Amino acid sequence: MNEKLIISGGRRLEGELRVTAAKNSVLPLIACCIMSEEEIHIHNCPQIADIFSMIDIIRAIGGSAELKNGTLSVNCKYANPQLVTADLTSSIRSSVFILGPILARFHYADISYPGGCEIGLRPIDLHIYGLKCLGIKVTEYGGMIICDGDNKRGGVVELDFPSVGATENIMMAGTLGSGVTVIRNAAREPEIVDLQNFINYLGGKVHGAGTGVITVEGVKSLGGGEYTPLGDRIAAATYLTAVGSAGGRAQITGAQPELMYAVLEKLKRAGCEITELNDGVRIVSSGKLHAVHKIETQPFPGYPTDMQPQITAMLAAADGTSFIVENMFENRFKYTAQLIKMGANIIVKDRVAVVKGVKKLSGALVAAEDLRGGAALVAAAIGADGDSVITGVRHIDRGYDKIENAFALLGADIKRVIEN
């Protein structure tokens, strides 16, 4: 059933909002549960489509997974890799990192090539290279990836690029069994540190996450228990940019400010007043912002690509011209065509968007075509003059748990309706 968001823009935002656990932390943690034969409870989980898809994968391979009142209970005692079917893993990108856990526990995996998505091809060559460094035989044939981990051992992996998913996959592949795995040029994202903490809580031996060198010492097995993942720094930053453009004052908690420094710095340069709290951020904005000369997306701790559309939407109605450079994905400016329908003045050439700020955006009928671009359109519509209709809400639901409720809590006039 298609749904759309109806937004009446122009209101200032006021209020307090607490974000749940980070989508990009919970997804690898769910995959990690495959390595344990005991019950595991993951708290503060958002009810979002990508998590439901991972739950489907756990159930389809013979595990149990139940999300109730924000706690996800997973038990993979009866998981069986023979049940991993092609259509199952082609459904979401995140499925690629079930490879590592399945190989760690069962030494065999056979999954379909995860498709690309709206923002890019999403190759997995670094994942495959890393698994091969651990002695795993990988055959790619007919859209399938067949991995034979009978000779799985420790190894040294030198990543060409600090890929988040590849780092997570290799960390998990090295978690069970003998040998030591060293990952160099590893991704440093906070979600990688969260995965290390989770693996160690369950009985694993990983250290170095957050630096460029991660060492994983294989152990015999993992136990169970309960864990509360990291708060969602991207969701929190999304709400901050919306307050920035709409104007107002808000307190966004549940994600530590030090994990958002790159975004907070740009919000300050644009003219927002930012106060760091111990588990969140207070923002005050006049709604009249100025341009930020240049924003370049980088691996953590640089400016996060997952916050590129949101800050572009905010600067589309700022005073002056901003240059946005998207270094991570090849197709992450699609949403700008929708912002232009709202009156934005943006020119995109390859990986660069030149954003010439206009006085105010105006409401329009726009279409969300990917997760973070869709969230950016919601923030833009809230700060715009007049009414907007946003279709393609399913893209936004992949990563935000009822985004309309969050913004309504901050005073926005927004509702979800079924598209007739």
CB-wise, 187 or 380, nearer to ligand EPZ?
187
Helices (H), 10-137: 23-33, 49-60, 86-90, 99-106, 125-133
Annotated catalytic residue: which of 117, 133, 147, 272?
117
Least Cβ distance, residue 81 to ligand EPZ (angstroms): 21
Give the number of other CB atoms < 10 A from CB of residue 83. Answer: 14
3-state secondary structure of 269: helix
3-state secondary structure of 128: helix
Is residue 360 a contact residue for ligand EPZ (CB under 6 A)?
A: no
Question: Between the CA atoms of 254, 313, 380 and 48, what dihedral angle is there, to the nearest 10 degrees?
Answer: -40
Least Cβ distance, residue 125 to ligand EPZ (angstroms): 5
∠ CA(123), CA(127), CA(128), 5° rounding?
95
Distance CA 24, CA 168 (A): 11
Say if CB 125 and CB 146 are below 8 A apart.
Answer: no
CB-wise, 26 or 317, nearer to ligand EPZ?
26
Residues 306-325 binding ligand EPZ (CB under 6 A) are 306
Is residue 335 a contact residue for ligand EPZ (CB under 6 A)?
A: no
Question: Between the CA atoms of 17, 70, 48 and 34, what dihedral angle is there, to the nearest 10 degrees?
Answer: 140
Q: Is 117 among the catalytic positions?
A: yes
Q: Which of 122, 249, 290, 341 binds ligand EPZ (CB under 6 A)?
A: 122
Is residue 329 a contact residue for ligand EPZ (CB under 6 A)?
A: yes
CB-wise, 198 or 291, nearer to ligand EPZ?
198
Is residue 305 a contact residue for ligand EPZ (CB under 6 A)?
A: yes
One symbol per residue from 171 to 210: x for binding ligand EPZ (CB under 6 A), - otherwise; what is it? ----------------x-----------------------
Of 161-169, 192-200, 208-216, 275-283: span binding ligand EPZ (CB under 6 A): 161-169
Kindly state the DSSP code that residue 235 receives in the 8-state scheme: H
Is residue 212 a contact residue for ligand EPZ (CB under 6 A)?
A: no
Residues 274-303 binding ligand EPZ (CB under 6 A) are none
Q: Which of 328, 355, 361, 406 binds ligand EPZ (CB under 6 A)?
A: 328
Distance CA 364, CA 281 (A): 31
CB-wise, 51 or 291, nearer to ligand EPZ?
51
Q: Which of 31, 182, 371, 393 binds ligand EPZ (CB under 6 A)?
A: 371
3-state secondary structure of 287: coil
Distance CA 89, CA 56 (A): 10
Least Cβ distance, residue 218 to ligand EPZ (angstroms): 23
For residue 165, which amino acid is it? G
φ, ψ dihedrals at 361, nearest 5°: -80, 160
Residues 88-107 binding ligand EPZ (CB under 6 A) are 94
Q: Which of 12, 127, 233, 360 binds ligand EPZ (CB under 6 A)?
A: 127
For residue 408, which amino acid is it? A
Residues 24, 87, 96, 119, CA torsion sign: negative
Is residue 165 a contact residue for ligand EPZ (CB under 6 A)?
A: yes
> Per-residue DSSP letters for 320-384?
SEEEEE--S-TT--TTHHHHHHTT-EEEEETTEEEEE--S--B--EEE--SHHHHHHHHHHHHHS
CB-wise, 127 or 266, nearer to ligand EPZ?
127
For residue 273, which amino acid is it? E
Q: Which of 16, 161, 178, 211 binds ligand EPZ (CB under 6 A)?
A: 161
Number of residues that bind ligand EPZ (CB under 6 A): 24
Is residue 126 a contact residue for ligand EPZ (CB under 6 A)?
A: yes
Of 116-124, 142-150, 345-353, 408-416: span binding ligand EPZ (CB under 6 A): 116-124
Distance CA 181, CA 339 (A): 46
Q: Which of 44, 163, 256, 336 binds ligand EPZ (CB under 6 A)?
A: 163
* Residues with a known catalytic role: 117
Q: Which residues of the chain form contacts with ligand EPZ (CB under 6 A)?
A: 23-24, 27, 94, 120, 122-127, 161, 163-166, 187, 305-306, 328-329, 371-372, 399
